[in-house]
Amino acid sequence: MKTGIRSAGSTVRAMAVALIGLPGSAAVAGAAPSLSVDDLQACMERLRPQAIAAGVSSASFAAHTATIKPEPSVLEKLDYQPEFKTAVWDYLAALVDDERVADGKAMLATHAATLAAVAQRYGVDAETVVAVWGVESNFGRAQGNYRLPQALATLACAGRRQTFFRGELFAALRILQGGHFAPEKLVGSWAGAFGQTQFMPSTFERLAVDFDGDGRKDLIDSAADALGSTANYLKQAGWRTAQPWGVEVKLPAAFDAGLVGRTKRRPLAAWQALGVVAIDGKPLSASVVGEGDYGLLLPGLASGAQLPTAGPAFLVGRNFDAIYSYNASESYGLAIAHLADRLRGRGAFLTPWPIDDRGLSRTERRELQRLLAARGHDIGEVDGLLGEKSRVAVRAEQTRLGMRVTGRAGEHLLARLRQTSTQPASR
Ligand code: CA
């Protein structure tokens, strides 16, 4: 999981927008820069010549920036310091849960004809495209609530990535100027990613497609346009048709952690020589892993685990890199890859994560939030997202129950709360 703005040249987004709301992503209020209405308008005056040089008409610039106000919450999100980093096993527990697999399978059926046409045109399979859709916007249901000009103008005038966000602001204004969307429709994440595929405005300009042929590239209301655009993105990112993203592997008992890394690529034969075998213990073959060179991904290491019990290991190839480019985070890439595999009917990873307290699905997170609320905790909306309020409540309950106080909610806490849910809340 990445929490910093990336140099977003080749990525869809500036930020791991899909992570918003997962544990660890809640903001701890820091010293976010402030921006007054006057500051913002003065900044817009300064930016006007640049915007016009970037192809925004004077009339459009005025129309879409004259009445905007600063959006302080985006600056907090830009600068937040996560209280703790979400471990990959918790991240995957919420992003690739049974609910999303079932929803994804339903979407594969509903949009079968479109997805077949998308695969035909771009060479990217239906399961991968639907997995991106499901993780990015929960299949179009969660596209964000920020009006883009306001959010992007704030980020263009304050904070630590102003130059980048100026480019995105101008792109958003060009999109509005082109009549692609009514201003009130162009809403998205705090960082300006929008639509069912959460494209940044500049990505929209480069790579969005009108797949349903109605004359508009409508990533907001057209699933076909969104699916086609995702496939087009992956194709441009180097997707190889009919090649697997990678495969779970088994490492020898003694293995050098220095060999681990997505970009430390080696041919299959080199991995075989190092003792890496298929998860069933058989020799690896190109028919399973695909062609090319592979990096070894061991996501548990980044979450604090250590060899030899760091959890599942994967050899990942070029298609994993294409997914990674969508949102520069290896956990994100693994979520997409694994969800696609689950949509193909495959099961969970065979190597267990090195934890004895499994992470919670969204259904379980909602149940946990209801149990916390029933005990008198203010957890905000029951949304399955476990933000800062939920974590405070989790700590309080862990203290009360004599558990280790971590703020992390796993199956053990849920089980304890279920047991005690009939007892009166201690307030
Ligand atoms: Ca269209």
Residue 250 pairs with which residues in a beta bridge? 277
Q: What per-residue string of b and e applies to 388-399 under the rule 16 or more CB within 10 Å gives b? A: bbbbbbbbbbbe
Centre of ligand 1 from the C-alpha of residue 208, in Å = 10
Centre of ligand 1 from the C-alpha of residue 209, in Å = 7
pLDDT of residue 346: 96
Give 82's DSSP letter: -
Integer Cα distance of 57 and 182 in angstroms: 17
Centre of ligand 1 from the C-alpha of residue 183, in Å = 18
pLDDT of residue 64: 96
∠ Cα 308 314 316 (to 5°):
145
pLDDT of residue 29: 46
Give 348's DSSP letter: S
Q: pLDDT under 50 in the chain at which residues?
A: 1-10, 14-29, 83, 427
H or E stretch including 269? helix 268-273
Centre of ligand 1 from the C-alpha of residue 235, in Å = 19
Reference 354, options 400, 411, 311; nearest CA is 311
Domain 1-84+127-242 has CATH 1.10.3720.10: no
| All structural domains of the chain with their residue ranges | 1-84+127-242, 246-316, 362-419
Amino acid making up residue 317: G
Please give, one letter per residue, the 3-state secondary structure of 11-64: CCCCCCHHHCCCCCCCCCCCCCCCCCHHHHHHHHHHHHHHHHHCCCCHHHHHHH
Q: What pTM was estimated for this model as a whole?
A: 0.90
Centre of ligand 1 from the C-alpha of residue 321, in Å = 28
Burial class from Cβ neighbours inside 10 Å (0-12, 13-18, 19+) for residue 121 reads middle
pLDDT of residue 31: 62
Centre of ligand 1 from the C-alpha of residue 355, in Å = 46
pLDDT of residue 290: 79
Sheet of 246-250, strands arranged across: 261-267, 293-297, 313-316, 246-250, 277-278
* Parallel, antiparallel or unpaired: strands 146-147 and 313-316: unpaired
Integer Cα distance of 178 and 168 in angstroms: 15
> What is the sign, positive or negative, of the torsion defined by CA atoms of 118, 123, 125, 129?
negative
Centre of ligand 1 from the C-alpha of residue 240, in Å = 26
Centre of ligand 1 from the C-alpha of residue 185, in Å = 15
| pLDDT (tens digit per residue) in 294-335 | 999 999 998 889 998 999 999 999 999 999 999 888 999 999
